[in-house]
Amino acid sequence: MEDNLYAPPASNVVEPAPSAAGAAFYVVAPYKFCLLFFATLGLYQLYWFYMQWARYRRHSGETLWAVPRTIFAIFYTHALAGRIDAVLRERGERYDWSPGGVATLYVLAQIASTLFDRFTARMDSAAVDLVSLAMLIPIGLSLLRLQQAANLASGDARGDSNRGFSAANYVWTILGALLWLVMLIGLMDAYPAG
């Protein structure tokens, strides 16, 4: 035994591989994603984008900031889709999709939604309000497609590891239902029938 206090340790310290740290992306069952997205009028996407980038950062070891990529999601959606596709290819998974096309659909729908929201603030038109609300459909469907690819890239195609609802999920769903109720009452008051 050597009594040199300055000698390096004799045992090998091995860092775990980045992929061993967990799933490459945030996994959620498709029905749960849809319920949370539509119940919260799309606000769930803020949490969703943050979790996708945070999980990817942990998996890849890449230095990136999840919060700005969440706030400015339209500028980073193509990058997220590309990373999901790259992990799918690394894993040898076949997934029939166009990552750029899905990301572009999201970006265009999000921009259109924002524009219609601005028009709604300036005009009193039920049609503009309804079109603005309808933009949730292409936004949600494009994010659902990204989620399905992320699930597959994470080795959980059906999202079984995140199917159940937590207390926070129930709270957000109830708050979202109240938001829907207030919004629908506001639409009925603003545009009475007859």
Answer yes or no: are the C-beta atoms of 110 and 139 closer than 8 Å. Answer: yes
N residues, the chain: 194
The C-alpha atoms of residue 18 and residue 24 are separated, in whole angstroms, by 9
The C-alpha atoms of residue 39 and residue 34 are separated, in whole angstroms, by 8
Half-sphere exposure of 44 (CA within 13 A, CB side): 26
pLDDT of residue 5: 63
Tracing tokens 């970006």 back to the chain, one arrives at 107
Q: What is the dihedral of CA 48, 50, 54, 55, to 10 degrees?
A: 10
Q: What is the pLDDT along the chain (194 residues), one digit of tens a residue?
A: 557 766 666 655 444 333 333 789 999 999 999 999 999 999 999 999 999 999 999 999 999 999 999 999 999 999 999 999 999 999 998 889 999 999 999 999 999 998 888 877 677 666 777 888 899 999 999 999 999 999 999 999 999 999 999 999 999 999 999 988 988 887 777 666 65
The C-alpha atoms of residue 29 and residue 47 are separated, in whole angstroms, by 15
Write out the two tokens for 117.
């929201």
Domain boundaries, the chain: 28-182
pLDDT of residue 19: 35
The C-alpha atoms of residue 58 and residue 77 are separated, in whole angstroms, by 18
> 99-103 long-range CB contacts below 8 Å, 24 or more apart?
99/149, 102/142, 102/145, 102/146, 102/149, 103/77, 103/78, 103/142, 103/146
CA angle 186, 192, 193 (to 5 degrees): 135
pLDDT of residue 122: 72
The C-alpha atoms of residue 147 and residue 139 are separated, in whole angstroms, by 12
Task: Kindly report the pTM of this predicted structure.
Answer: 0.81
Residue 20 DSSP label: G
